[in-house]
Chains A and B, each alone.
Chain A
Amino acid sequence: MTVAQTDNDTNGERIGAAAHAEVEHPSSAVVRFGADRPLDLDSGGKLSPVQIAYQTYGTLNAARSNAILVCHALTGDQHVANEHPVTGKPGWWSLMIGPGRPIDTDLYFVICSNVLGGCMGSTGPASINPQTGKPYALDLPVITVRDMVRAQAMLLDHLGIETLFAATGGSMGGMQVLQWAASFPDRLFAAIPIATGSRHSSQNIAFHEVGRQAILADPDWCGGSYLEAGKNPHKGLAVARMAAHITYMSDEALHRKFGRSLQDRDALTFGFDADFQIESYLRHQGMTFVDRFDANAYLYMTRAMDYFDLALDYDGQLAKAFAGCHTRFCCVSFTSDWLFPTAENRTIVHALNAAGANVSFVEVETDRGHDAFLLDEPELFTTVTGFLKAAARIRGLS
Chain B
Amino acid sequence: MTTEMQLRTMAADPSRVDLKIIAGFVTPGARVLDIGCGDGALLMQLSEEKNVDARGIELSQKGVNEAVASGLSVIQGDADSDLATYPDKAFDFAILSQTIQATHNPRIVLEELLRIGEKAIVSFPNFGHWRIRTQFLLAGRMPVNKNLPYSWYDTPNIHFFTIRDFIELVDEVGATIEDSIALHGRGRKIAPTVSRQIWNLFGEQAVFVLSRPNSSKS
Chain A interface (Cβ < 8 Å from any Cβ of B): 328, 330, 346, 349-351, 353-354, 356, 358-365, 379, 382-383, 385-387, 389-390, 393
Whether B120 sits at the interface, judged by CB under 8 Å, is no
Give me the interface of B with A, judged by CB distance under 8 Å. 53, 55, 61, 64-65, 68-77, 82, 85-87, 90
Kindly state the separation between the CA atoms of A74 and B177 in the bound complex, as whole angstroms: 55
Q: When chains A and B are docked, how far (Å) is the Cα of A377 from the Cα of B142?
A: 43
B61, B68, B75: the one contacting A349 at CB < 8 Å is B75
B68–A360 touching, CB < 8 Å: yes
Instruction: Flag if B71 contacts A386 (CB, 8 Å).
Output: yes
Interface residue SS majority, chain B: mixed
Q: Which one of A354, A364, A365 contacts B87 once the chains associate, using CB atoms below 8 Å? A: A354
Give the CA-CA distance A385 to B115 in the complex, in Å.
34
A328 to B71, CA, bound (A): 11
Which residues does chain A contribute within 8 Å of B74, judged by CB atoms?
Answer: 360-361
User: With A361-B76, A362-B65, A382-B65 given, is the CB distance from A350 to B71 under 8 Å?
Assistant: no
The reply to whether B75 and A383 form a contact with Cβ atoms under 8 Å apart is no
What CA separation (Å) do A383 and B65 show in the bound complex?
A: 6
Are A362 and B64 in contact (CB-based, < 8 A)?
Answer: yes
CA distance A360 to B66 in the complex (A): 12
25 contacts between A and B (CB under 8 A): A350-B85, A354-B86, A354-B87, A356-B90, A358-B73, A359-B73, A360-B64, A360-B68, A360-B72, A360-B74, A361-B75, A361-B76, A362-B61, A362-B64, A362-B65, A362-B68, A363-B61, A363-B64, A363-B76, A364-B65, A383-B69, A386-B68, A386-B70, A389-B71, A390-B72
Q: Given A361-B75, A361-B77, A362-B61, are A330 and B68 neighbors across the interface (CB < 8 Å)?
A: yes
Q: Is the CB of A365 within 8 A of B73?
A: no
Residues in chain A near residue B68, CB distance under 8 A: 330, 360, 362, 383, 386-387
Which B-chain residue is minimally distant from A335 (CB atoms)?
B61
Looking at the complex, which one of B55, B64, B82, B87 makes contact with A358 (CB distance below 8 Å)? B55
Q: A382's closest neighbor in chain B, by CB?
A: B69
> A362 vs B59: C-alpha distance in the bound complex, in angstroms?
10
Which residues of the partner chain A approach B65 to less than 8 Å between Cβ atoms? 362, 364, 379, 382-383
Q: Which B-chain residue is minimally distant from A355 (CB atoms)?
A: B87
Distance (Å) between the CB of B66 and the closest chain A CB?
9
Q: Which of B64, B69, B77 contacts A385 (CB 8 A)?
A: B69
Q: Once the chains bind, are A353 and B85 in contact (CB under 8 Å)?
A: yes
Q: B76 contacts A362, CB within 8 Å?
A: yes
CA distance A389 to B68 in the complex (A): 10
| Residue on B nearest A329 in the bound complex, by CB | B73
Residue of A nearest to B83 (CB): A353
Contacts of B53 in A (CB 8 A): 358
CA–CA, A351 and B87, complex, Å: 10
Contacts of A361 in B (CB 8 A): 64, 74-77
Distance in angstroms between the alpha carbons of A364 and B64 in the assembled complex: 10
Q: Using Cβ atoms and an 8 Å threshold, which residues of chain B touch A385?
A: 69
- Give the Cβ gap from A395 to chain B, nearest Cβ, in Å: 12
Distance between A373 CB and nearest chain B CB, rounded to angstroms: 16
Q: What 5 A-B pairs have minimum CB-CB distances, sorted nearest first?
A: A390-B71, A386-B69, A361-B75, A350-B85, A353-B85
Task: Give Cα distance in the complex from A241 to B69, angstroms.
Answer: 35
B195 to nearest A CB, angstroms? Answer: 41
B8 to chain A: closest CB distance in Å? 20
Q: Which residues of A contact B90 (CB under 8 A)?
A: 356
Q: How many Å lie between the Cα of A365 and that of B60 in the bound state?
A: 11
Distance between A297 CB and nearest chain B CB, rounded to angstroms: 35
| Least Cβ–Cβ distance between B118 and chain A, in angstroms | 14
Output the least CB separation between B43 and chain A (Å). 12
- Give A387 to B40 CA distance when docked, in angstroms: 14
Interfacial chain A residues near B69, Cβ < 8 Å: 382-383, 385-387
Extra pairs beyond A354-B85, A379-B65, A386-B69 (7, CB < 8 Å): A346-B77, A350-B82, A351-B85, A359-B73, A360-B73, A361-B76, A383-B69
Q: How far is the CA of A382 from the CA of B65 in the complex (A)?
A: 8
How many Å lie between the Cα of A350 and that of B73 in the bound state?
14
Q: Which residue of B lies closest to A353 (CB)?
A: B85
Residue in chain A with minimal CB distance to B68: A360
Residues of B within 8 A of A359 (CB): 73, 75
Q: Kindly identify which residue among A328, A346, A351, A393 contacts B73, using a CB–CB cutoff of 8 Å.
A: A328
Complex contacts, B86 vs chain A, CB 8 Å: 353-354
Question: Considering only CB atoms, which chain B residue lies closest to A328 in the complex?
Answer: B73
Q: How far is the CB of B30 from chain A (nearest CB, A)?
A: 15
CA distance A362 to B69 in the complex (A): 10
Contacts of A351 on B, CB cut-off 8 Å?
85
Min distance, Cβ B38 to any Cβ of chain A, angstroms = 15
Give the chain A neighbours of B76 by CB distance below 8 A. Answer: 361-363
Chain B residue nearest to A354 (CB atoms) is B85
Tell me the nearest residue of chain A to B54, going by C-beta: A358
On chain A, the residues within 8 Å of B70 by CB distance are: 386, 390
B68 vs chain A, min Cβ distance (A): 5
User: Considering only CB atoms, which chain B residue lies closest to A383 in the complex?
Assistant: B68
In the bound complex, what is the Cα–Cα distance between A360 and B57 (angstroms)? 9
Query: In the complex the two chains form, what is the Cα distance from A386 to B65 in whole Å?
Result: 9
Contacts of B64 in A (CB 8 A): 360-363
Cβ contacts under 8 Å, A346 to chain B? 77
Kindly state the separation between the CA atoms of A383 and B64 in the bound complex, as whole angstroms.
9
